[in-house]
């Protein structure tokens, strides 16, 4: 058997008895939609990250769309986001008729560059065709974006801030989670994520009770909140049959919440294990490849991926593949170069770092259960290939 890029079975072997029991409990009580495990997981997720409230939803893409819906995003609004990211980050903006404005990245972390962001905001204001509304910063590969700098720009220009932590839930800056700066933090529980379920799932975190009530309404077809019901004198009926706003159907499945509860219980330990694997990689590969991952002082990555830079990437991948060593290239075509997004604006100086890094980044196998022997094989393979 070849080397696994992400070894979900090793994790399952660790907690299979607990996961099986959790699934059995759901099968027994039969509350498959919005069952008690959903509420319990939301509470424990909040406790883990220091957020006041969490709102589970159907997937990480809906998690991005729901706050924008809650803020009334509309045509003519601008949302600033990186181009070097998965399509979902920008995709949700045109859903609502608004325009993404693409921003460049830092050359060492691959996260949103605050200098490029500021230039993009000021250029948008100067042009006057779009109204700056929000920023979506991405915790790429597991490392938090530069939230102190990005938040300062959002405050200066009156913008909402979303932390797209699909790859980075659990990451911190000086021990503080992104919710310290962001209006909302969104995440994905896609199976390959550091905290993943066995299907689709997502969540939004906020410190604002009114925002949570609105998100809760929007995720269930715009159902009435308690305040809506009181205002309409609507009593004696289910909230889902009074719909004061247009929403969507995006509920976290009870079965997935039950699984996530067991995974969350070991998540802190798995982050520590990922850190150990990453440090071992860095120690072994620094100087042998063009660049090993850089994590800022005081920043904690959850290492969703371990991404290096190499020259002649295609050749290196081919050599590693011949040895049974899997690799992945994330975002070979940045968003601003994809056909549906070419019509949207970019930062005034363009995205030169994004366009450079798309040629050189390459990710190696990374998961908490990567043993030293296997990692040694990968390291030696990389050194020989480059």
Q: What CATH number does the domain containing 236 carry?
A: 3.40.640.10
Angle at the Cα of 325 from the Cα atoms of 89 and 84, rounded to 5 degrees = 20
Is 32 a domain residue? yes
Banded model confidence at residue 242, pLDDT cuts 50, 70, 90:
confident
Tell me if 67 is assigned to some domain. yes
In angstroms, the CA 296 to CA 171 distance is 12
Residues 169-183: what's their mean pLDDT?
98
The residue among 201, 237, 196, 157 whose CA lies nearest residue 60 is 201
Asked if residue 222 has pLDDT above 60, the reply is yes
Answer yes or no: is 174 within a domain.
yes
Residue 164: beta bridge partners?
138, 186
Same domain membership, residue 130 and residue 221: yes
Residues 243 and 254 sit within 8 Å (Cβ to Cβ): no
| 136: pLDDT strictly greater than 70 | yes
Among 267, 292, 309, identify where a domain stops. 267
Q: Which residue range forms the structural domain that includes residue 176?
A: 8-267
Domain boundary among 267, 300, 318: 267
Residues 231 and 367 in one domain: no
Q: Does the global pTM surpass 0.75?
A: yes
Kindly tell me if the per-residue pLDDT of 377 is higher than 80.
yes
pLDDT of residue 374: 97
What is the domain count for the chain?
2
Q: Last residue of a domain, which of 267, 294, 314?
A: 267
Q: Which of 133, 193, 357, 358 does the annotation list as catalytic? A: 193
Q: Are residues 95 and 197 in the same domain?
A: yes
Contact call for residues 144 and 299 (beta carbons, < 8 A): yes
Q: Is 193 a catalytic residue?
A: yes
**Same domain, residue pair 297 and 201:** no
The residues pairing with 138 across neighbouring beta strands, listed in sequence order, are 164
Q: Which residue has the tokens 């700098």?
A: 149
In a domain? residue 2: no
Is 341 found in the same domain as 258? no
* 205 and 306 belong to one structural domain: no
Residue 32, classed as helix, strand or coil, is coil
Question: Is 3 among the domain residues?
Answer: no
Residues 164-186 have a mean pLDDT of 98
Check whether residue 94 and residue 216 sit in a common domain.
Answer: yes
How does pLDDT run across 269-304, given as a tens digit for each residue? 999 999 999 999 999 999 999 999 999 999 999 999
Task: Give the CATH number, domain containing residue 272.
Answer: 3.90.1150.10
List C-alpha distances in Å: 357 to 80, 91, 95, 237.
Answer: 20, 22, 28, 56
Predicted local confidence at residue 236, as pLDDT:
74
> For 248, what's the count of Cα atoms within 13 Å in the CB-facing half-sphere?
20
In a shared domain, residues 272 and 359: yes
Return left, alpha or beta for 350; rule: phi > 0 is left, psi -120 to 50 is alpha, else beta: left
């Amino acid at each position: 058997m070849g080397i696994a890029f992400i070894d979900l079975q090793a994790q399952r072997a660790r907690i299979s008895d607990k996961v099986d029991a959790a699934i059995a409990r759901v099968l027994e009580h039969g509350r498959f939609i919005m069952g008690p495990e959903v509420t319990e997981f939301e509470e424990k997720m909040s406790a883990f990250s220091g957020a006041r409230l969490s709102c589970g939803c159907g997937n990480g893409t809906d998690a991005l769309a729901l706050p924008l819906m809650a803020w009334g995003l509309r045509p003519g609004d601008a949302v600033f986001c990186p181009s070097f990211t998965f399509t979902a980050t920008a995709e949700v903006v045109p859903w609502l008729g608004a325009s993404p404005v693409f921003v460049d990245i830092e050359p060492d972390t691959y996260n949103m560059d605050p200098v490029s962001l500021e230039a993009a905001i000021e250029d948008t204001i100067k042009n006057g065709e779009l109204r700056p509304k929000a920023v979506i910063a991405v915790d790429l590969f597991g490392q938090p974006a530069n939230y102190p700098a990005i938040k300062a720009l959002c405050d200066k220009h009156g913008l909402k801030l979303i932390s797209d932590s699909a790859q980075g839930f659990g990451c911190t800056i000086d021990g503080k989670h992104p919710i310290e700066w962001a209006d909302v933090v969104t995440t994905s529980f896609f199976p390959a994520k550091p905290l993943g379920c066995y299907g689709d799932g997502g969540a939004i975190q906020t410190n604002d009770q009114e925002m949570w009530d609105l998100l809760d309404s929007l995720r269930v077809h715009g159902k009435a909140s308690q305040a809506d019901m009181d205002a309409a004198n609507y009593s004696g009926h289910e909230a889902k049959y009074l719909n004061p706003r247009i929403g969507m159907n995006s509920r976290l499945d009870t079965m997935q919440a039950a699984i996530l509860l067991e995974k969350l219980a070991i998540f802190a330990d798995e982050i520590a294990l990922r850190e150990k694997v990453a440090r071992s990689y860095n120690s072994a590969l620094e100087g042998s490849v063009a660049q090993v991952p850089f994590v800022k002082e005081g920043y904690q990555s959850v290492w969703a991926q371990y991404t290096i830079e190499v020259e002649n990437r295609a050749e290196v991948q081919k050599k590693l593949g011949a040895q049974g060593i899997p690799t992945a290239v994330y975002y070979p075509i940045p968003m601003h170069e994809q056909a549906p997004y070419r019509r949207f604006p970019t930062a005034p100086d363009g995205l030169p770092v994004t366009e450079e890094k798309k040629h050189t980044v390459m990710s190696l196998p990374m998961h908490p259960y990567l043993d030293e022997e296997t990692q040694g094989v990968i390291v030696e393979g990389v050194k020989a290939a480059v």
